[in-house]
Amino acid sequence: MTTLDKETEAWLAIRKEAAKAIDPATAELTWAYGPVGNPYGIYPPDESDCIGREYFARAPGSDVWVSFHDLDTSVRDELWKRAVAEGHVLQIVVRPGEPPQLRGLPPELEELLAGRTPNPTRDAPR
């Protein structure tokens, strides 16, 4: 792991402190694509980086976004429940014998896909 300079360490300390003020009931949530395990992008890119959704929260009125990785487990668990309930998390549900279902889509996309009829040629597994 790369050694961090004092400025970056102080920047991270601000996030650790801000994490203490986050109430899962009132926190603002967002997400961005980024390197998994390096949510703030502070470490140099690596060829083995995997890109995925990184989730962040902040207290109302704060300008400091905190990675879910930096939150207490109980706060993070409550925020995950909210994120799923509010559609911030896209879920793909696969059950044997049934077509896959998407959950967590924005309403306008869900409405668009609801009218789509299956096409065996187009939708066949490859």
Question: pLDDT digit string (tens) for 26-38?
Answer: 999 998 888 988 9
Q: What is the mean pLDDT of residues 30-58?
A: 88
| CA 87 to chain CA mean position, Å | 11
Q: By the 8 A CB rule, do 42 and 4 touch? A: yes
Question: Which residue stretches of the chain are H helix?
Answer: 6-19, 73-85, 107-114, 120-123
What are the tens digits of pLDDT across the range 65-102? 999 999 999 999 999 999 888 877 777 788 898 888 77
Q: What pTM was computed for the model? A: 0.71
The Cα–Cα gap between 59 and 21 comes to 6
pLDDT of residue 118: 55
Domain boundaries, the chain: 1-85, 90-116
pLDDT over threshold 90, residue 111: no
